Amino acid sequence: MIKVRAQISSVFHLDKCIGCHTCSISCKNIWSDRPGAEYMWWNNVETKPGTGYPTKWEDQDKYKGGWKVNDAGKLVLRATGKARAFTNIFHQPAMPSMDDYYEPFTFKYEDLFNAPAGKDQPTARPVSMVTGKTMDIEAGPNWDDDLSGSPIYASNDPNLEALSESERQAIFEIERMVFFYVPRICNHCMNPACVAACPSGALHKRGEDGIVLVNQETCRGWRHCVPACPYKKTYYNWKSGKSEKCLLCFPRLETGQAPACFHSCVGRIRYIGVLLYDATKIEEMARVPEQELVEKQREMILNPFDPKVIEAAKESGISEALLESAQRSPIYKFVKEWQIALPLHPEFRTLPMLFYVPPLLPVIGKVENGNYQPNRTTEMFGSLKDARVPISYLAKLFAAGNTKLVEASLRRLMAVRLMRRQKTVGDSADTKISEILKEAQLTHEQAEALYKLSTVASFDERFVIPPSHREQAVEMLEEPELVKRETGFGLRQPPRRGP
């Protein structure tokens, strides 16, 4: 018997991210521009290779985040457990410190206006938002953006440990020319470590749409969620004494709008929609060997057109509207139908529900005689063999080291490009393109649909938001106290209807 759950899930198409940080700023302006939250970036954008924010967050030897399978074959939290939760209740040894994030700062702007007339240009000195004293800035949430011109940041990337010497050399060529960006928000995981670690039961996964929230009334500030989240997407507010995290802009979703970071995304890399999954399998699937995690997670995602799934979904209380939304979901297409979107670090075993289309461009682009040369080979995916970003690096990020899954995804992306090139430039043979699509296991129709969704898709095609909870949302607007209770802070302005 399957127990069907519906989850609002996302895909970020990394080939389209331009690293502009608009997403981070729109989130900050709405949600974390408050005392105690200055250092929080619920949405941040990282340059890869690089160490990210907080620095080296992927290194679980340091931070002990996520789950592991113990010697008895049981799934247990790395950072905490019943016994450790008690002994560590006042002290979490794996907690990131302010040095791992950064000391938030502002500038003494008034000095620019109030400085007496003199020979020197007045400057606005940086001031710590924690102590109020002047300071020297030594770090920031995007300090190694575009590697800050130095390979030092790239060389500290924990994912490089998985690479051979020659692969490392290849990746350092990129630093002179191309790298790629990984925007990150909370993954609203199927098996969230933050929820499991909370001694107060303040963290919860909403039954109706899978959004993970912190109840600000029940949070006691134990901070067990902070080390437990392997993505470091729960944050402690030093002013309120409570934990906070991305809430997937649920007040916007409930009025039919995409989350602010999705809505404002300049590269249009973001997609949102419903996935149905079988909740009875969570523990079993989260325990499988690392290399199988992605495929098992895919198996858990159910086909919303299957009559048996539809029947089971109705029995599980899923509405017609939600089912219809799941059938139109772009996430289902990217993750399950075309199998090109992959979860970030599945080996943390939280079963993240945000998926990434791995980037193709820095992988196959070449520099020849000092000039960038896009790879135009119509040789059957030959360029993947000498990829500039080693496939093993991408596999470490998106497939727990399973290179086959990344290769399959990149092959499909390449096949679509070659098909479109043939349509627009016509320098190949149709039979050759058919062969390439067959090799990539894509039909012409699928390739065309994948091209459209990646390029010219409209707002409504990228953001398929179920029409659930609108009535409650209206009630919430009439009852701002309800929003405050759920989120800890009020709505700055009533959300508008429609995109």
Q: Which residues bind ligand SF4 (CB under 6 A)?
A: 17-23, 45, 181, 183, 186-189, 192-194, 212, 229, 231, 233-234, 245, 265-267, 269, 350
The tokens for 313 are 């979904």
Nearer to ligand SF4, 21 or 252 (CB): 21
Are the C-beta atoms of 274 and 464 separated by less than 8 Å? yes
Nearer to ligand SF4, 219 or 269 (CB): 269
- The C-alpha atoms of residue 29 and residue 269 are separated, in whole angstroms, by 20
Nearer to ligand SF4, 270 or 396 (CB): 270
Nearer to ligand SF4, 36 or 227 (CB): 227
Nearer to ligand SF4, 245 or 411 (CB): 245
- The C-alpha atoms of residue 424 and residue 418 are separated, in whole angstroms, by 10
Nearer to ligand SF4, 245 or 417 (CB): 245
In the complex, the smallest distance separating the C-beta of residue 102 from ligand SF4, rounded to whole angstroms, is 19
In the complex, the smallest distance separating the C-beta of residue 197 from ligand SF4, rounded to whole angstroms, is 9
In the complex, the smallest distance separating the C-beta of residue 353 from ligand SF4, rounded to whole angstroms, is 8
Quote the longest CA-to-CA distance of the chain: 80
- The C-alpha atoms of residue 269 and residue 251 are separated, in whole angstroms, by 22
In the complex, the smallest distance separating the C-beta of residue 294 from ligand SF4, rounded to whole angstroms, is 16
In the complex, the smallest distance separating the C-beta of residue 117 from ligand SF4, rounded to whole angstroms, is 42
In the complex, the smallest distance separating the C-beta of residue 245 from ligand SF4, rounded to whole angstroms, is 5
- The C-alpha atoms of residue 350 and residue 73 are separated, in whole angstroms, by 16
Residue 490, judged by CB atoms within 10 A of its CB (0-12, 13-18, 19+), counts as exposed
In the complex, the smallest distance separating the C-beta of residue 290 from ligand SF4, rounded to whole angstroms, is 18
Nearer to ligand SF4, 189 or 258 (CB): 189
In the complex, the smallest distance separating the C-beta of residue 352 from ligand SF4, rounded to whole angstroms, is 6
- The C-alpha atoms of residue 196 and residue 13 are separated, in whole angstroms, by 30
Length in residues, the chain: 499
In the complex, the smallest distance separating the C-beta of residue 442 from ligand SF4, rounded to whole angstroms, is 26
Residue 158, judged by CB atoms within 10 A of its CB (0-12, 13-18, 19+), counts as middle
Q: How far apart are the first and last CA of the chain?
A: 38
The neighbour count for residue 364, using CB atoms within 10 Å, is: 23
Nearer to ligand SF4, 28 or 245 (CB): 245
In the complex, the smallest distance separating the C-beta of residue 361 from ligand SF4, rounded to whole angstroms, is 14
- The C-alpha atoms of residue 293 and residue 295 are separated, in whole angstroms, by 6
In the complex, the smallest distance separating the C-beta of residue 305 from ligand SF4, rounded to whole angstroms, is 28
Nearer to ligand SF4, 333 or 345 (CB): 345
Amino acid, single-letter form, for residue 254: E
The neighbour count for residue 119, using CB atoms within 10 Å, is: 4
Measuring CA to CA, how many Å separate 382 from each of 172, 366, 379, 413, 431?
A: 22, 13, 6, 14, 18
Measuring CA to CA, how many Å separate 384 from each of 141, 164, 210?
A: 33, 17, 36
Nearer to ligand SF4, 194 or 285 (CB): 194
472: three-class secondary structure by DSSP = helix
**What does the DSSP assignment read for 393-461?**
HHHHHHSTT-HHHHHHHHHHHHHHHHHHHHHHT--S-HHHHHHHHHHTT--HHHHHHHHHHHTT--HHH
Buried b / exposed e across 329-346, counting CB within 10 Å, b at 16+? bbbbbbbbebbbbbbbbb
In the complex, the smallest distance separating the C-beta of residue 10 from ligand SF4, rounded to whole angstroms, is 11
299: three-class secondary structure by DSSP = helix
Nearer to ligand SF4, 103 or 244 (CB): 244
Closest CA to 209 of 30, 467, 482: 467
Nearer to ligand SF4, 18 or 112 (CB): 18
Which residues have a Cβ under 8 Å from the Cβ of 498 and sit 6 or more positions away?
A: 256, 257
